[in-house]
Structure 1
Amino acid sequence: MAPSVVPEPQPPSTSRPQQNLRNPLPLSPAQEAEVRKLYYARVRSRCADEIKEFADCARGRTVSVAWHCRAQHLAMNGCMIQFATKAEEDAAREEWFAGVLERRKQKEEELAAVEKRRVEVIELTRKQEEKERLEMEKKLAEEKQNEGKKTRGSWWR
């Protein structure tokens, strides 16, 4: 008789969501804030001249900024809108991810320095305690010796 052929069970077909290569990991809110900070810094750096012109015009003014600096304000906002794009945000995110290893290395170096200092402090504390213990023992020995001399001397006299 021929052996029966039983098909192997197939895993249920699940469609995987498309992986976003620009954002490989979900970021925490704090990390997202860092990315946003980088993004805004990049946009501001591209529009630095327009921002400076508006700031120079607005310096020393209060309410009158609205009509005296209208042209500079529009130029600054136009520049910001021009460079505040999704592509710029993605570039900032990529820059943040590129700096992950560097930040991690820096954090490890800081922790190593703290640990080294902690060991030094512990060693100094132990040395100080040992020194104080020896001084105390020496002081107690001297007091015993002086006490013995006083009692012996007064007894014999």
Structure 2
Amino acid sequence: MAAVPPPMPPSAPVPLPSSDASTMNSDEMLPMPSRNPIPLSASQEAQVRDIYYARVRRQCADEIKAFADCALGRTFSVPFACREPHRIMNSCMKSHATPSEYDAAREEWFAQRLQRQKEREKKARRKAEQEAFLREWWGLPEKDREVAQREMEKLKRGERIGGFPAANRPRIEEEASKR
């Protein structure tokens, strides 16, 4: 089982995986926005938690496998027959489920920003190609070029971190201009 590298220092850039997951390209680096907590949306926090749980499970894979092997083919007797493997598995997971591991998962999530953006762009291009094909196939009018261009520009914008501001909240610029 491979050891997980320790979290990087605050000023170090976070390496980003290239489009090929097996190789790392050192040219694609984004700095970690801040070591301070940046508010993420609920879905973004869920993605960070998924990475965190996967990292903890990866570190305790042997213990989890031992418990699963013990529990295989059992129903009511699992708590009694597999008490020791279960205790070992839980203690391993508790020892690795630390705030520093959560911070490392959060840094990994930030490191994957460019990869997620490329995947979104690829998916949107594919969708646009399919829509154009279907419009041609069924003889429907072409989509307005301005609308298509706005959609592509929207995709090129980076992932927003921290959610969206409230629509009815006064902006700082507006308050300054009123004075």
Alignment counterpart, residue 106 of structure 1, candidates 107, 119, 125: 119
In the alignment, is the contact (CA less than 8 A) between 1:50 and 1:75 conserved in 2? Answer: yes
Question: Any idea what SS the aligned residue of 2:133 has?
Answer: helix
* Residues 124-157 of structure 1, C-alpha deviations (whole Å, 9 max, x = no match): 3339xxxxxxxxxxxxxxxxxxxxxxxxxxxxxx
Q: Which runs of 4+ in 1 moved over 4 A?
A: none
Alignment counterpart, residue 44 of structure 1, candidates 38, 47, 57: 57
State the alpha-carbon separation in 2 of the partners of residues 87 and 114 from structure 1: 40
Task: Label 1:25 to 1:56 Cα distance change in 2 as closer, same or farther (>3 A).
Answer: same
RMSD: 1.8
In the alignment, is the contact (CA less than 8 A) between 1:58 and 1:65 conserved in 2? Answer: yes
The answer for the alignment partner of 2:157 in structure 1 is none
Q: What TM-score, normalized by structure 1, do the two folds share?
A: 0.63
More strand by share: 2
State the alpha-carbon separation in 1 of the partners of residues 60 and 106 from structure 2: 19
Question: Any idea what SS the aligned residue of 1:55 has?
Answer: helix
Question: Any idea what SS the aligned residue of 1:60 has?
Answer: coil
Unaligned runs of 5+ residues in structure 2 are 1-32, 141-179
Letter in 2 for 1:33: A
Count of residue pairs brought into register by the alignment: 108
Task: Label 1:124 to 1:64 Cα distance change in 2 as closer, same or farther (>3 A).
Answer: closer
State the alpha-carbon separation in 2 of the partners of residues 123 and 66 from structure 1: 62
Unaligned runs of 5+ residues in structure 1 are 1-19, 128-157
* Residues 105-136 of structure 1, C-alpha deviations (whole Å, 9 max, x = no match): 11011111111221222223339xxxxxxxxx
The answer to whether structure 1 residue 96 and structure 2 residue 109 are counterparts is yes
Greater Rg by CA: 1
Q: What TM-score, normalized by structure 2, do the two folds share?
A: 0.56
The answer to whether structure 1 residue 121 and structure 2 residue 134 are counterparts is yes
More helix by share: 1
